[in-house]
Amino acid sequence: MARPFRTVRARAALAATAVVAAALLVAGIAVTLALRANLQNQAGLEAEVAAREVASRLATGTPVGKLDLDEDHPVQVVDEDDRVCAVSEDLQAISGTVSGSVRPACPADGAGSGSGDDDDEADDPGESEVSDDDPELTDGSATIDGERGPYRFAAVETTTAAGATYTVYAGASLETQQSAVSTAVRSMLIGLPPLLAVVAGVTWLVTRRALRPVEGIRGEMAAITASTDLSRRVPEPDSGDEIARLARTTNETLTALEASVDRQRRFVADASHELRSPIASLRTQLEVAEAHPELLDIGGAVADTVRLQGLAADLLLLARLDAGEEPRNGQVSLADVVREAAGRRSKVHCGELDEVEITGSRGQLERVLANLLDNAERHAADRVDVSLRREEGKAVLRVADDGPGVPAADRERIFERFVRLDEARARDDGGAGLGLAIVRDVVVRHGGQVTVGDGPRGGACFTMRLPAVR
């Protein structure tokens, strides 16, 4: 049974849903806080307006005992000693102001509270004013006609013409604010699950559609694996996106794998063919010798054995190279290798030999030079010239002969395995077609390159370039 959320579609849908949920949660909290703050500010402004209206009436000469305080807003007026002087009609309880009392405690005649007679006010006129400072806002509650509710109170200070100072507390209901916030929160909580379900469903469908080509690629790859038919290719969508590039890269990989398998099959077939001839010849000679010892061709048997040994060595070296064997890192004097190889061959003449050292395997480099010289001697008429120069930080080895040369059309093909040109088809004169293939593989693994062109004497000139040690 598949584990939950193991597929890419499920993980993508879950991630998208989680991100949207987090974003909506943050946005909802921000909106709720902003709405609450805005409504509280409106309530504070409403309370301030009501408090200033009462304070203005006190400042214009209305006695505190004769204030007409309606029940729209809970109002409480206190003097400098925090004694309650007036409260709004039907106010039964209050909190959040300086005093929790709803019973006026000031003298009934207003003595000492700025409520003197007209003569006194005329004889001792004062300066009345309402404070322009921002009012103090507090949250509390009030009970009016038996109904208790939350309120925001604004405190405004005023001074009458008689010099008495009062503080007017007026409140604005917060029920509307709380109701609006509760409605907003409830609406978001109700609408959030369906919205998240829609996001998850849309993400699932979009991801499924986007990954449909991937499933096609996977299915085709599974079919190729089951059938071992490397000629098949995965479908490439026309979208031009990452999936299309994945399909294109997969097909390129299949093409390279098919070519590699074909080369391997040809290699095995050619190797079997090349091995069959010396083995059959050797077996025939041994069978004849067993029946007629006097007819044993010792020289032919030894030649077939040597040829078989060389072919096996070539195949083993190519197998190691194909397996990715890296050359041993050592300092090799290429000039010494050239002198030793040329000293054993009569046709080979050494030209200018610079003392150049390279990093690599001496044994493999000796094999490369031997193969180049054997090939040159096989096709040369009289002479093979070898030179070694240091050019632009590289060791450049040239092996040129005075033979017929290599046609331009075959100058790449001769480096393929088991390839022999028409002039070298005879097994008695030519090799198995592995020498130059070994040359290129070894040189490439040493970081160099080998090419063939026209020699100065009309024959072929093989040029090998390898990184030189400074």
Residue 429 has pLDDT above 70, yes or no: no
Residue 71 has pLDDT above 70, yes or no: no
pTM value?
Answer: 0.51
pLDDT at 4: 52
For the CA atoms of 155, 160, 163, 164, what is the dihedral angle to 10 degrees? Answer: -50
pLDDT at 431: 62
Q: Mean pLDDT throughout 130-149?
A: 86
> Which tens digits make up the pLDDT trace of 254-292?
888 888 788 777 777 777 777 777 788 788 878 887 887
Backbone angles phi, psi at 108, to 5 degrees: -60, -35
Percent of the chain with pLDDT over 90: 22
Is 327-467 CATH 3.30.565.10?
yes
> Which tens digits make up the pLDDT trace of 231-244?
888 888 887 778 88
CA distance 301 to 256: 42
Question: Token pair 């029920």 is at which residue?
Answer: 175
In terms of phi and psi (left: phi > 0; alpha: psi -120 to 50; beta: otherwise), the region of 273 is: alpha
Q: What is the mean pLDDT of the chain?
A: 83
Q: Do residues 383 and 347 make contact, with C-beta atoms less than 8 angstroms apart?
A: yes
Topology of 242-320 in CATH? Helix Hairpins (1.10.287)
Three-state SS at 445 = helix
Q: Which of the four pLDDT bands, split at 50, 70 and 90, describes residue 399?
A: very high
Show the tokens assigned to 121.
Answer: 């006010």
**What residue segments make up the domains of the chain, in order of their start?**
10-180, 242-320, 327-467
> Which tens digits make up the pLDDT trace of 89-119?
888 899 989 888 888 887 644 444 444 444 4
CA distance 353 to 347: 17
Q: Mean pLDDT throughout 45-68?
A: 87
Poorest-confidence range of 36-40, 107-111, 188-192?
107-111
Identify the top-confidence range among 81-90, 210-219, 232-241, 306-315: 81-90
Q: Which of the four pLDDT bands, split at 50, 70 and 90, describes residue 443?
A: very high
Q: Do residues 356 and 390 make contact, with C-beta atoms less than 8 angstroms apart?
A: yes
Q: Mean pLDDT throughout 364-384?
A: 91
CA distance 384 to 247: 51
Q: Mean pLDDT throughout 13-20?
A: 88
Identify the top-confidence range among 116-120, 151-155, 298-302, 324-328: 151-155
pLDDT at 130: 79
Question: Token pair 């790449």 is at which residue?
Answer: 412
- Strands (E) in 354-421, as ranges, are 357-359, 384-391, 394-401
C-alpha count within 13 angstroms, C-beta hemisphere, residue 4 = 2
Q: Do residues 403 and 457 make contact, with C-beta atoms less than 8 angstroms apart?
A: no
Three-state SS at 446 = coil
